[in-house]
Amino acid sequence: MALSSIKNQLPFRSTQRRHTGNTETPAYGSHSRQARHRTVKQHASAQSAEACCDRRTLLLGAAALAAVGAGPLPCGALTLEEVTPSIAAAGPLTDRESAIINIFQSSSLAVANVFDVTLLGRNTSSIPEADVPEGNGSGIVWDTDGHVVTNYHVLQSALAKFGAPASAAVSSAPSPAIGKRVGLVTLLLPDGGQQTYDAVLVGADRARDLAVLKIPAARDVLKPLQLGSSAGVRVGQLCLAIGSPFGFDRTLTTGVISGLNRDIRSQLGSTIPGGIQTDAAINPGNSGGPLLDSSGRLIGLNTAIFTPTGTSAGVGFAIPADTVGRVVPQLIASGRVLRPSLGVQVASDAIAQKLKVTSGALLSAVDPDGAAAAAGLLATRRGLGGVVAGDVIIALNGRQVLNGGDLFNALEQCAIGEKVKLAVLRSTDQGQQQLEVDVTLKPEK
């Protein structure tokens, strides 16, 4: 194809300026012969460069036309290989990147995708949609006996179907759904495949938003996570979250520990003391998935987010691994958790402030059959002069108590029947008195 013909078919025009034959020749006047020669040479070089530019433009246009069937490429045209940029070789991974990749690869076999069987018809496809229902969550392989740990609220619909309480009231009685099929659990297999198993309930604890399932998986498929301790966790340390946000299974996010000892208000209405706060992205579907330290040890179980939109806002919460480590063995052994209890209710911060209590756990109610009543502790009450603040617990076994969360977290470390020593502030007509009271803990009702 002639260049003139190609030029007429080009879908673009050059934006280069062109010299024409009518270009006015400058008057050289008194310039020397060398100066005139230099000027003419520069003018010729510019014309040659423009001609080269036009030729390249025409050839590229010809290549484009040939690609769409406009005819063969002219002699000397650029080839596809010549206009394709080279691919840069991948650079080496940093030590931090390598460590994160190794943790993810070794831990992903222990992360499960958990579905509530009563919600299966809504969205459990491998290609998630924008609207992901409750009941689509995560879990962790606990041992090689087939136990999988997840959040209670992930299975809430199925548990309610079998008569589990739907209110925020917490009961230590075994769940009526124990032994019933309540979910499906999908695991990643060592060969890269996936396998889905029916899951029956082994035990559940509403108070700590935990549930244990059992699946009939072979022992060589079950790869439990290494249980760490949350006691040594520090604000600022690296952490990793793995789960199935919006149904995208085995998604990894990273961040740092943002805060400790947070009171987590769970979706069930209970308060979980000692929570771990992180800025690692946690979204719906991450519930029940692991929060890991930089060595791949379990330091928490992701459970909640604080957000005005329903998606991650950089404020996520996990149940501490020490709490998980105390609760799960009891659920496996007996299907329920028996906690030591004082038999008291603690006033909210707002009520405590109205009664000028700035620190400690103010008792708003005392169970007449509980351990605190047997030891003579007093609740907030109405007297002749108005409301009288109840006893304020400021320490348990020497451990400082700043609020109700501190008190219940301290009780988690104790056993039923154990005698504990309380430091108590009591309001009297002569002012506040500090008392030391021995209390024998009873089982939680």
Enter the tokens of residue 389: 């603040």
> Is 153 an annotated catalytic residue?
yes
Point out which residues pair with 203 in neighbouring strands. 212
Closest CA to 207 of 409, 358, 38, 429: 409
How many angstroms from the chain centroid is the CA of residue 148? 19
Computed over its alpha carbons, how large is the radius of gyration of the chain?
A: 36
DSSP single-letter state for residue 232: T
How far, in Å, CA of 115 to CA of 442, rounded? Answer: 37
- CB of 328 within 8 A of CB of 286? no
Q: Which amino acid is at 372?
A: A
How far, in Å, CA of 376 to CA of 370, rounded? Answer: 10
How far, in Å, CA of 57 to CA of 177, rounded? Answer: 75
Catalytic residue among 107, 258, 287, 427: 287
Catalytic residue among 147, 153, 322, 364: 153
Q: Which amino acid is at 121?
A: G
> Is 429 an annotated catalytic residue?
no
> Is 116 an annotated catalytic residue?
no
How far, in Å, CA of 357 to CA of 351, rounded? Answer: 9
Could you count the other beta carbons within 10 Å of the beta carbon of residue 26?
10
Closest CA to 113 of 97, 136, 90: 136
- CB of 184 within 8 A of CB of 158? no
Helix ranges (DSSP H) in 257-403: 321-334, 349-354, 371-374
Please tell me the chain's helix, strand, coil percentages from 3-state DSSP, rounded to the nearest 5: 25, 30, 45
Taking the alpha carbons at both ends of the chain, their separation in whole angstroms is: 93
Q: Which amino acid is at 413?
A: Q
Matching residue, tokens 């002012």:
431
Could you count the other beta carbons within 10 Å of the beta carbon of residue 105?
10
Strands (E), 23-104: none
Point out which residues pair with 388 in neighbouring strands. 381
How far, in Å, CA of 242 to CA of 289, rounded? Answer: 6
Catalytic residue among 116, 205, 209, 322: 209
Enter the tokens of residue 17: 């300026």
Active site amino acids: 153, 209, 287
